[in-house]
């Protein structure tokens, strides 16, 4: 799979809840590999960004599967960890607003409030349950991706905050988005 296989709004599949994986089959393992390939393909096409994670729904597979890059600070590291049926078992810390982007919401960024710490349980690619505690940016990644498995995208959290939206300019800097013009030009995105 490539970056071109990543679906984007207004594709209605992004608004559907994904189904739990009952058994980790060869098909599920193949989907994980495809998710990783699509993320790397997207990543290599961007100068100023790193693809840090992807949910299966983003390649139009309605399964509760998320892949997270092992070292999201190193664009050359193409290894991931799969989280099958990921679930946040506890939100901790405080709500903090910070920038988020999404491979399925092209060129739009937002300052989204998320908890600073979460506990997550999931199955690995062999079907074994494991748990992680994530803080900071990794906690944000989990909340963002698990939202995808529930039919939510980051703009849903900030829809009513017109000052929370940004675009990346040609130099890689975030610039405030003209919210009203954006809505008028992309009504299907904001529906």
Q: Catalytic positions, please?
A: 145
Using CA atoms, how far apart are residues 188 and 112, in angstroms rounded to an integer?
21
Using CA atoms, how far apart are residues 48 and 70, in angstroms rounded to an integer?
19
Residue among 35, 51, 43, 26 at smallest CA distance from 1: 35
Place of tokens 């849903």: 156
Those residues with Cβ within 8 angstroms of residue 127's Cβ, 6 or more apart along the chain or in another chain: 23, 24, 84
Give alpha helix (H) positions in the chain.
26-44, 137-149, 155-158, 179-185, 187-190
Using CA atoms, how far apart are residues 165 and 111, in angstroms rounded to an integer?
7
Phi-psi region of 136 (alpha: psi -120 to 50; beta: other; left: phi over 0): left
Enter the tokens of residue 85: 């049926």
Q: How far is CA 46 from CA 42, 52, 106, in A?
A: 7, 13, 12
């Amino acid at each position: 799979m490539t970056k071109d296989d990543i679906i984007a709004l207004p594709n209605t599949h992004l608004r559907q809840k994904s189904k739990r994986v009952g058994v980790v089959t060869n098909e599920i393992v193949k989907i994980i590999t495809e998710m990783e390939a699509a993320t790397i393909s997207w990543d290599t096409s961007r100068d100023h960004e790193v693809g840090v994670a992807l949910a299966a729904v983003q390649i139009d597979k309605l399964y509760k599967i998320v892949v997270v890059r092992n070292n999201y600070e190193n664009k050359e590291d193409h290894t991931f960890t799969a989280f099958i049926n990921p679930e946040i078992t506890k939100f901790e810390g405080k709500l903090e607003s910070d920038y988020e982007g999404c491979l399925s919401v092209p060129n739009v960024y937002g300052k989204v409030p998320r908890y600073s710490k979460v506990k997550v349980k999931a199955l690995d690619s062999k079907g074994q349950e494991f748990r992680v505690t994530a803080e900071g940016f990794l906690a944000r990644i989990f909340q963002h991706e698990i939202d995808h498995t529930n039919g939510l995208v980051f703009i849903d959290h900030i829809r009513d905050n017109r000052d929370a939206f940004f675009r990346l300019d040609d130099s890689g800097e975030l610039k405030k988005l003209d919210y009203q013009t954006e809505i008028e030009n992309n009504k299907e995105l904001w529906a």
